A and B are shown apart, each in its own frame.
Chain A
Amino acid sequence: MLRFILTRLSLVIPTFIGMTLLAFLMIRLVPGDPIETLAGERGIDPERHAALVKEYGLDKPVLAQYAIYIGRVLHGDLGKSMITQEPVVREFVALFPATIELALCAIAFALLLGIPAGMLAAVRRNSVFDHGVMGLSLTGYSMPIFWWGLLLILLFSVQLGWTPVSGRIAVKYFFEPVTGFHLVDAWLSGEPGAWKSAASHLILPTIVLGTNPLAIIARMTRSAMLEVLGEDYIRTARAKGLSNARVVALHAFRNALIPVVTVIGLQVSVLFTGAILTETIFSWPGVGKWMIEAISRRDYPVLQGGLLLLGGVVMVVNLLVDLAYGIINPRVLRAS
């Protein structure tokens, strides 16, 4: 096990170093003088320019500059936003719970619908239900979610008036953030109606963000189940006279879960990509919207830091999934 963990870690470290290199080069690749880029359109007076060149170590060779950058990153210093002058890390930490809350709801939605749908489709192979699930999942996989979100707003918010159009909670509710998750905080605050408001704001973004993962998980569950259902030990289980439900739920499903878990792990990256679009459509105050706004404001430290932080989160989650995979499937452990 230890050897397995060490092998995985040894793969992660070069990836992280590469990512810092990418983030470091990013600002260097923007045409023009980095300080003037950092200063933005207001410009900068020569004295301050010289001071900043020294501060950022821009008078040193590139390799030394990179060493300085790495040193800062390892101390958790990713620079300050040019607009708010707040440290990038602090802004990220303040906004990240909103993204996580949305992403968790979306993946829960995708799992709760996708796994049963995929299982049923596999068990009733070539039935109308199977074709329906496969057709819908290919549609969900091909869906431009930024359009899907607008359609849902059109139907549920404009036509039916069931759900709010944007934001995380109605403005009239205010409570101290404890966990950063509005669903939990609203419940803790005990304010009447607050939880309902938070939940109703979550419904559409959850569906929009969950659509792609739902499609992928349903397809993957179906194909994993089909593979497992053809195995000899399933025939043995049936021959022993076990009920169909028992065979499917206990014998087949547990083994089909192994590839599904890997796919769930891969969804983290899909979720962050989707979050950028979903948060933009629903004005959801998370890191995705934060980064899109940073582009229009040319706030490069935010982009640089956000890239590194989100990439780092994906990397860590992938590592954890890999390790979890080793635990549920000991064959992987032995192979390493």
Chain B
Amino acid sequence: MNVMNETASAAMTDANEAPPGPLREFWGSFSANAGAVAGLVIVIAVLLMAALAPQIAPHAPDLTNNAAFLQPPAWSRGGSWSYPLGTDAIGRDILSRLIHGGRLSLTIGIAVVALSIVVGIVLGMVAGFVRGVTEIAIMRLMDIILTLPSLLLAIVIVAILGPGLMNAMLAVSVVVLPHYVRITRAAVLSETAKDYVTAARLSGAGRLRLMFIEVLPNCAAPLIVQASLGVSTAILDAAALGFLGLGAQPPAAEWGTMLADAREFVLRAWWVVTFPGLMILVTVLAFNLLGDGLRDALDPKLKR
């Protein structure tokens, strides 16, 4: 009897507690993933570093010092704490350039994702709703973009438009576009078959309303995941273009461009090569961890 009472009261408390809201449920699942939390922390740290760059950088990123060419980091012989990570070939502080470089790399990552996600959603929606020849044309074009090696296509686009940060961003946006188009179209096709869409259509919702107000919010989960992973791809691709001399142009403190400048000193100054790449790796890794965590928390179906 006693036992029964306890079970009953336990069931009562369970019923009285409100089920966790979607946000809370998401956070519970997300925060259980140590890697994802680490990724989030690093991403926030890099964002803060970029936002506060002028305040926290010890020097201006373009300030040269004729007395300190290729000075090693503070802890090695010949280094000094006024240049904690050493200086480059024309005496600029590497730490300050890395901090300011975070602004460029994050801007690139976010701008590329924003551009490709907007264009991708529109094209994917059109392909999924209009069907017919339009759909075939859009999806074939996306197949072509996917078939070509991504960096090769980006290079060719930059070769046409001319090197530079804006054109590199545009090129990377084109290259990553197919992922968003495909995800949106697939989501649209599976959503439009559902009853709520039919109900909305019957109650007289127009096509645009169906597309953007009824269906789009239900495609959000895979798009958010792809966007988070896409930031890392964008940063990596833009840095690769910078490394090849096709992205941000010197003296911009972009991490890939810094590596390109450092290449010829690889034999005698390890620090000019090591730190910019480390920043790229850590940032990209953090966005990937974050993306994986978001995927596992938002979309259990995709979980591997």
Contact = CB atoms under 8 A, between A and B. Distances in A.
Task: Give the size range of A's interface with the partner.
Answer: 35 or more
A158 B267 contact: yes
Contacts of B299: none
Interface in A1-47: 11, 14-15, 18-19, 22, 26, 29-30
B267 A144 contact: no
Contact of B285 (A142, A223, A272): A142
Secondary structure at chain B's binding surface: helix, strand, loop or mixed?
helix
Contacts of A226: 304
A307 B152 contact: yes
A8 B156 CA distance: 28
Contacts of A26: 156, 160
Interface in B256-304: 256, 259, 262-263, 266-267, 270, 273-274, 276-278, 280-281, 284-285, 288-289, 292, 304
Contact of A143 (B147, B148, B153, B281): B281
B269 to A, nearest CB: 10
B236 interface: yes
A194 B263 CA distance: 29
B151 A142 contact: no
Interface in A125-169: 138-139, 141-144, 146-148, 150-151, 153-154, 158
B52 interface: no
Contacts of A19: 144, 147-148
A147 B267 contact: no
A142 B259 contact: no
A223 B289 CA distance: 17
B153 to A, nearest CB: 8
A22 B245 contact: no
A269 B102 CA distance: 29
Interface stretch (A183-191, A250-258, A310-318): A310-318
A85 interface: no
Contacts of B155: 276, 291-292, 295
A307 B274 contact: no
Contacts of A296: 245
B148 A147 contact: no
Contacts of A115: none
Interface in B208-259: 232, 236, 239-240, 243-246, 256, 259
Most chain A beta-carbon contacts within 10 A, residue among B153, B155, B281, B284: B155
A314 B160 contact: no
B289 A138 contact: yes
Contacts of A151: 273-274, 277
A81 interface: no
A171 B278 CA distance: 34
A292 B148 CA distance: 16
Given A26-B156, A138-B289, A146 B143 contact: no
B148 A311 contact: yes
A144 B239 contact: yes
Interface of A: 11, 14-15, 18-19, 22, 26, 29-30, 138-139, 141-144, 146-148, 150-151, 153-154, 158, 223, 226, 269-270, 272-273, 276-277, 280-281, 291-292, 295-296, 298, 300, 303, 306-307, 310-311, 314-315, 318
28 contacts: A18-B143, A19-B144, A19-B148, A22-B144, A26-B156, A30-B160, A138-B35, A138-B288, A139-B285, A142-B281, A142-B284, A144-B236, A146-B277, A150-B266, A269-B148, A270-B149, A272-B152, A276-B149, A276-B244, A277-B240, A277-B244, A281-B263, A303-B156, A307-B152, A310-B149, A311-B144, A311-B148, A314-B148
Interface of B: 35, 140-141, 143-144, 146-153, 155-156, 158-160, 232, 236, 239-240, 243-246, 256, 259, 262-263, 266-267, 270, 273-274, 276-278, 280-281, 284-285, 288-289, 292, 304
Given A154-B273, A307-B156, 12 more contacts: A11-B143, A14-B140, A18-B141, A138-B288, A144-B236, A144-B243, A144-B280, A147-B276, A269-B147, A276-B149, A306-B152, A311-B152
